[in-house]
Amino acid sequence: MKVCKKCKKKVANKSKICKYCGADVSKCKIIKNTNSNVGKKVATKNTIDVNSFDSEKKTTKVNKIQEENKAKVVLDKTVDEIHMKDKNKSSNDGKNTGRKSKNQVKNNKNVLSDELSKKAKHNESKIKIEEKSINYDNKIKKIGNFIIHYKLFGRINLWIIIILVLIIVGGSLIYFTQTEDNQKENTQGVFVSSSKEVFEMNDIIEYKGVNYKVIDIQTSMGNSYKEPEEGNQFIIVTVSIENNTDEKIAYSYNNWTVSNSDSKEDAKRIFTSINVDNALYSGKLVVGGVKKGSMVFEQPIDAKDVTLNYYELKKDDEGMSIIDEDKKIFSIKLEIPKDDNSTSNDSNNIASEEKK
């Protein structure tokens, strides 16, 4: 018997290929051992049991030896037949296995290539998906940054734009309304004191919501109770005060003075009986009320550029109201009649009026 070097199993002496593993056993050493496992297996397959002779019959040792030799011969023949069959099978199997192995390698290569292509496609799809997700994340980040920027600065900018629009619209409305009002007022001779300081007699001067206007002027040489100095005359100036504010206003003769181009200081009002019927005193004018009153000033007969001046008032050390010389609001040029003792047709009928 031979022992295969690869699988360590016993094979027939004449066999060149191991029937168990297909290895080459032509050069393997022959071991002289009659009790081989193969022989036992073949004997069992052919239903030849050597030990059964001992159990069934009681024979002598010679008979036993003869029977054993016969059995060995039969076993050798059967083993040789089996080995021949195994050689043919192994050779055919080797060829088939070689072909199968080649086909399997090709199939494995095809399977691997298919799997690699599938993996490559899968990886490409993953990369595309990741790129899309990255682009989407970038877009979301941009949108988020824009929203954050809008939240932080957008509202401020929006309010600034709204305020500017309101200012522009409001300014335009105020401008157009003022121009319309100025057009109407100009037809009536109305001017705002902040834009002009010297006005004409037919002008209506608006200051702090109150309209002022000279409605009459006349001269007088006085009466038996009081006369002007030599070379002078009395000027009787009648003014109209209209309250267009939302509250009562204070009015007084102390706000008014008269000056000319040659005078060094303003002349204050003179108390006399010539205008007792419509003299302007101090008081408060109700909302929407109109006060008309006259004041008497002494001026040279040949005085030039005579003006009626309006000042703000202040308190002196004794608490009396006096003019604030630093706060001259406006002046009105007076057109004095040339004839002495001339009077206006409406002067005798003017009386102080007040709406309450």
Q: Nearest to residue 82, comparing CAs of 172, 177, 10?
A: 10
Task: Yes or no: say if 217 and 236 are a contact pair by the CB < 8 Å rule.
Answer: yes
Task: Yes or no: say if 74 and 39 are a contact pair by the CB < 8 Å rule.
Answer: no
How high is the pLDDT of residue 111?
67
CATH architecture of the domain with range 197-349: Sandwich (2.60)
How high is the pLDDT of residue 139?
75
Instruction: Report the alpha-carbon distance of residue 130 to residue 145 in Å, rounded.
Output: 22
How high is the pLDDT of residue 188?
45
Instruction: Report the alpha-carbon distance of residue 123 to residue 131 in Å, rounded.
Output: 12
Q: How far is CA 73 from the centre of its chain?
A: 107
Which helix (H) or strand (E) covers residue 293, if one does?
Answer: strand 290-300
Task: Yes or no: say if 25 and 2 are a contact pair by the CB < 8 Å rule.
Answer: yes
How high is the pLDDT of residue 351?
37
- CB neighbour list of residue 273: distance below 8 Å, 6 or more residues apart: 223, 225, 226
pLDDT tens digits, one per residue of 14-67: 787 887 888 888 778 777 655 544 444 444 444 445 455 445 554 555 566 666
Q: What is the pTM of this model?
A: 0.44
Three-state DSSP class for residue 353: coil
Task: Supply the Cα-derived Rg of the chain in whole angstroms.
Answer: 70
- CB neighbour list of residue 324: distance below 8 Å, 6 or more residues apart: 311, 312, 313, 314
* pLDDT under 70: residue ranges of the chain: 32-72, 74-79, 83, 85-113, 130, 146-155, 178-196, 339-356
Going by DSSP bridges, is the β-strand pair 10-11/198-199 parallel, antiparallel, or unpaired?
A: unpaired
How high is the pLDDT of residue 321?
87
Task: Yes or no: say if 181 and 174 are a contact pair by the CB < 8 Å rule.
Answer: no
How high is the pLDDT of residue 244?
95
Instruction: Report the alpha-carbon distance of residue 324 to residue 305 in Å, rounded.
Output: 22
What backbone torsions phi and psi does residue 144 show, to the nearest 5 degrees?
-60, -45
pLDDT tens digits, one per residue of 237-261: 999 999 999 999 999 999 999 999 9
Give the start-to-end residue ranges of the domains of the chain. 2-94, 197-349
Task: Yes or no: say if 68 and 96 are a contact pair by the CB < 8 Å rule.
Answer: no
